[in-house]
Amino acid sequence: MSSAPPALFPLPSPRGSASRPDKPMTVLSYGLGADSTAILLKYLDHPVRYGLEPDLSDLIVLHAVTGNEFPSSLSYVDRLVLPLLANRRVRVVQVARMGRSDSDGVLVLEDSRTTRRIHQAGPWRLSDWLLTGGTVPQMASGRRTCSIRFKGWVLDHWAAAEFGHAPFRRVIGYHAGERSRMEKDTKIQNRLNERAGRVICEPSYPLVDAGMARSAVEAYVLQRLGEPIQKSSCTFCPFSGVCASRDRHEERLRQHPDLAAEALMMEYASMALNEPMSLYGTRSLYQQLAEDERNDAVLTAFEARLDEAPFSLYEVRRLYLPGRTKDCRHHHGDRCTRPRWWCRTERTASCRRDHAAFKTVAPLYTSTELPPRCAGLDSGCHGNPVKGAAWRSVRTVWEGPRQEADFTLMRWGRETDVQLRHGERSMIKRLHYLNRGEGYPAAEAYLVAAPTGADNKNRNSFDRKWTEITGLIGTRWEPVRPLVNHPVRRGSRVVPVIRPSGVAHVPALASA
């Protein structure tokens, strides 16, 4: 008699049951840094003052494992913080992404009241995502995409599985100098609560409430634990190498030249595929390190790793599509099926003044602007074209050692009569066989040598759009392998939260 095989990804039942007291649980988002450590120490010393039970039974310390923290941050917490938590039997939960797709779920690496170490990595690290994407961390519309994807998303889905519909208090370690971040976070959470029609969680910011600036926070942690705490960040964080923290960040990189070399490799691959994509916007990590001779050992380690790494020749094609103006969105709604000239090009001030038309609407007799009547024949009506989305196709057309990659790039350039050009900042050589034109839509294409690892990607409609805009068909060189799509598995919005007992073997947990 056969029995059904055990489920690989068991879903735990929500724990927000009737047996839970009315008092909500408190969840501290623990990032291993000074701010969240200071809050944790205050909770240990004065739990009742901060609305907790004397035995801290209603506190959960929740940590999202990104996989790329500095070893010194992990060691600091292991040695000085975790013993205090284990002594008071505080519940510590460590979670991480299970894979590249959201549907792969969240893995609970450890859920214990006697935690002895912070896990270094989960099955899918932040660096895995960046390296396969051929990019570096970036801000998108004011949002820190890496933090959202590897911290916020993981923590939110764990909380949904843990509490169900029961509300909880979410504690965030913003200090008094980060009031704007606090206000933005509060607005986001209030919108989520309103959209859900219930209180998902109530945000709390103890350091802001106490008026503790960053310097006061660091002094408090030093006085309490006896050792200064360093900034918690990924080794390639773009916010750690600028402004006042630059010197301290470079000192940490000198202490870990292997990790510094990894960050430089990531940046090199990113800039090879897209010249502007360096770690610090208009400046690269390599440029900053090269300004200080104390970093020579780090740069030497990077060059050695670059020479040893397997290389690929990537054919990169990019489309710059036109965007939509505010006039287009206002008059044509979410979809514009018959675009006019002003749907893709901004109107000038003189055009708005001379060619605007309005109508009066009863019963309030308000004045509403009609769609522009201007035919666009007057060049004085045309402002700037609007930039839309940029599409990128990356295909591997050759693989081998670095030196052979450079020789092959130069040989193919001679054979196709395409001159090599160097990147303005990176000095990386590229064969530009299609140069970008003015305005939108526009296209460019080139061949470049870079470390192997970036995914071959090409959205389904890219080749059709490429031919429509450029008149060219497909890639210029033959790819070495077919595309492998990583489909987004849609359907149920329930993200599995996986306990270690539900996974037969997770390589990242082998050393646990």
328 vs 208: CA distance, rounded Å: 42
DSSP for residue 281: B
Question: Which of 15-24, 26-35, 45-54 is predicted least confidently?
Answer: 15-24
Question: What single letter denotes the amino acid at residue 348?
Answer: T
Give ∠ CA 329-330-335 in degrees, rounded to 5: 40
The pLDDT value given to residue 334: 87
Share of the chain above pLDDT 90, in %: 64
Which is nearest to 63 in space by CA: 28, 16, 24? 28
- The pLDDT mean for the chain works out to 87
Confidence grade of residue 87 (pLDDT, cut at 50, 70, 90): very high
Task: Fill in the amino acid letter for 201.
Answer: C
Instruction: Write down the pLDDT at residue 500.
Output: 62
Q: Tell me the C-alpha distance between 355 and 351, whole Å.
A: 5
CA–CA gap between residue 320 and residue 425 (Å, rounded): 22
Mean pLDDT (whole number) for 194-204: 91
What is the crossing angle of helices 126-133 and 257-273, to 10°?
30
> Is the bond preceding residue 363 a cis peptide, omega within 30 degrees?
yes
Which residue in this structure is represented by tokens 């360096």? Answer: 278
CATH: 3.30.750, 3.40.50, 1.10.10, 3.30.160. Which one for 25-232+496-509? 3.40.50
pLDDT tens per residue, range 374-432: 888 888 888 888 999 999 999 999 999 999 999 999 999 999 999 899 999 999 999 99
Which pLDDT value is given to residue 493? Answer: 58
Q: Length of the chain in residues, anyone? A: 512
pLDDT digits (tens, 9 = 90+) for 280-306: 888 899 999 999 999 999 999 999 999
* More confident of the two residues 378 and 130: 130
pLDDT (average), residues 119-131: 94
Helix (H, G, I), strand (E, B) or coil at 407: helix
Q: How confident is the model at residue 455 (pLDDT cuts 50, 70, 90)?
A: very high
pLDDT at 476 over 90: yes
What pTM, to 2 d.p., does this model score?
0.84
pLDDT value, residue 247: 87
**φ, ψ dihedrals at 506, nearest 5°:** -120, 110
Residues 447-468: what's their mean pLDDT? 95
> Residue ranges per domain, the chain?
25-232+496-509, 243-308, 312-321+387-470, 324-385
Q: Does 453 score more than 70 pLDDT?
A: yes
| Per-residue pLDDT at 114 | 94
pLDDT tier for residue 15 given thresholds of 50, 70 and 90: very low
pLDDT at 88 over 50: yes
DSSP 197-235: TS--EEEE-HHHHHT--HHHHHHHHHHHHSSPPPPP-BT
Three-state SS for 64? strand
Q: Return the top range by mean pLDDT from 9-23, 38-52, 479-493.
A: 38-52
239 secondary structure, DSSP code: T
In this prediction, residue 221 carries a pLDDT of 97
345-374 burial, b if ≥16 CB within 10 A, otherwise e?
Answer: bbbbeebbeebeeeeeeeeeeeeeeeebeb
- pLDDT score of 374: 84
Q: pLDDT grade, residue 124 (50/70/90)?
A: very high
Q: Name the pLDDT band for 361 (thresholds 50, 70, 90).
A: low
3-state secondary structure 6-50: CCCCCCCCCCCCCCCCCCCEEEEECCCCHHHHHHHHHHHHCCHHH
pLDDT band at 139 (very low <50, low <70, confident <90, very high): low
The per-residue pLDDT for range 232-260, each reduced to its tens digit, is 888 998 877 555 578 889 999 999 999 99
* Rg of the chain, C-alpha, whole Å: 27
Pair 28, 171: CB distance under 8 Å: yes
Angle, to 10 degrees, between the axis of helix 296-308 and the axis of helix 402-416?
70
Nearest-10 crossing angle of helices 257-273, 296-308: 60
Least confident among 137-146, 269-278, 368-377, 386-395: 137-146
In terms of pLDDT, which residue wins out, 356 or 308?
308
143-184: per-residue pLDDT in tens? 578 888 889 899 999 999 999 999 999 999 999 999 999 999
